[in-house]
Amino acid sequence: MSTAPPRVAVLDGGTGNLRSVAAAIARAGGRAEVVTTPAAARRAQALVVPGVGAFDTGIRALRATGLDGVISDFAAHGRPVLGVCLGMQLLHEGSEEGSLPGLGLLSGRARRLPAGGSVKVPHMGWNRVHWTAPHPYVDAIPQGTRFYFVHAYAVPPGPSAVGESSHGAPFAAACASGSVFATQFHPERSGAAGLVLYRSLVEAARCW
């Protein structure tokens, strides 16, 4: 196994906080490369699909650049893929926020969080996450750890969920299937616990 920092491609679909994600990957020991083309993405050992904003805007951007195909190819060959916030929703089957289908690498569709009383939407701030299934990326993170969220839509808990949180209703805070892992929260804004996730991604990338 190489000792050189593995390349981790941060996909630039125009909808993500790319600098923060790239900086977190660097702190975790990886070599972050913000990419806009399939050729550049394929040279990496792992992918990060970040994103903030509207679902249809995000999925259109991936398809317009051909990066959607790279994500699907990485997943099909067992190469690490990490989706963050909107990126997590794009990896699912779709969202009631938009009309376009998602990538379908994770089962389920995002729904708008329910608002009412003291529950405000969008959900912005720190919230506890309860792990519901084992996964190498989170096994070292204690139950009830707080992560930072900014979102109005979320996927209800389903078979791919490995972590849950609640804001008006329970939702999947983290999901996994094969080599694909995704978080509704922002690991790059979640302090030491978020850095654990990026370190796990970097270590997985070393195998490729």
- What is the per-residue pLDDT across 41-89, written as a single tens digit (0 to 9) for each? 999 999 999 988 899 999 999 999 999 999 999 999 999 999 999 999 9
Is 154 within a domain?
A: yes
Here the CATH number for the domain that contains residue 132 is: 3.40.50.880
Is 137 within a domain?
A: yes
Please compute, for residue 169, the number of CA atoms within 13 A of its CA located in the half-sphere on the CB side: 15
Is 140 within a domain?
A: yes
Report pLDDT digits (tens) over 114-139.
988 889 999 999 999 999 999 999 99
Report pLDDT digits (tens) over 133-157.
999 999 999 999 999 999 999 999 9
- Please check the confidence at residue 15 and state whether its pLDDT lies above 70: no
- Please check the confidence at residue 1 and state whether its pLDDT lies above 80: no
Q: For residue 165, what are the CA distances in angstroms to 37, 92, 128, 205?
A: 34, 18, 6, 28
H-helix or E-strand spanning residue 175: strand 170-177
Domain coverage including residue 68: 7-205
Task: Give residue 46's pLDDT.
Answer: 98
Active-site residues, by number, are 85, 186, 188
Place of tokens 């195998």: 207
Task: Give residue 53's pLDDT.
Answer: 87
The number of residues making up the chain comes to: 208
Is 106 within a domain?
A: yes
Task: Give residue 169's pLDDT.
Answer: 96
Residue 208: both structure tokens together: 């490729």
Q: What is the average per-residue pLDDT within 158-171?
A: 97
Count of structural domains within the chain: 1
Residue 82: both structure tokens together: 């990490």
Is 1 within a domain?
A: no
Is 73 within a domain?
A: yes
Q: For residue 126, what are the CA distances in angstroms to 98, 112, 134?
A: 26, 19, 22
Is 2 within a domain?
A: no
